[in-house]
Chains A and B, each alone.
Chain A
Amino acid sequence: DSGVTQTPKHLITATGQRVTLRCSPRSGDLSVYWYQQSLDQGLQFLIQYYNGEERAKGNILERFSAQQFPDLHSELNLSSLELGDSALYFCASSDRDRPSPLHFGNGTRLTVT
Chain B
Amino acid sequence: AQKVTQAQTEISVVEKEDVTLDCVYETRDTTYYLFWYKQPPSGELVFLIRRNSFDEQNEISGRYSWNFQKSTSSFNFTITASQVVDSAVYFCALRQVSGAGSYQLTFGKGTKLSVIP
A residues sitting closer than 8 Å to B (CB atoms) are: 2, 31, 33, 42-43, 45, 48, 55-56, 58, 88, 90, 92, 94, 97-107, 109
A45/B103 in contact, CB under 8 A: no
Instruction: Evaluate whether A101 and B50 lie within 8 angstroms (CB atoms) in the complex, with A42-B109, A106-B43, A107-B44 already known.
Output: yes
Contacts across chains A and B counted by CB atoms under 8 Å: 62
B43/A107 in contact, CB under 8 A: yes
Name 30 A/B residue pairs within 8 A (Cβ), A-sorted: A2-B47, A31-B103, A33-B104, A42-B107, A42-B108, A43-B105, A43-B107, A43-B110, A48-B102, A55-B101, A56-B101, A56-B102, A58-B104, A90-B45, A92-B45, A97-B101, A98-B103, A99-B95, A99-B97, A99-B103, A101-B47, A102-B35, A102-B47, A103-B47, A104-B37, A104-B46, A105-B44, A106-B42, A107-B43, A107-B45
* Cα distance A33–B95 in the bound complex, in angstroms: 13
Per DSSP, are chain A's interface residues mostly helix, strand or loop, or mixed? strand
> Does chain A have a CB within 8 A of B77?
no
Within 8 Å by CB of B100, from A33, A56, A103, lies: A56
Interchain nearest-CB distance for B54 vs A (Å): 12
Interchain nearest-CB distance for A66 vs B (Å): 13
Chain B residues with CB under 8 Å of A99's CB are 33, 52, 95, 97, 103
Chain B residues with CB under 8 Å of A102's CB are 35, 47, 105
* Cα distance A43–B94 in the bound complex, in angstroms: 12
B103/A43 in contact, CB under 8 A: no
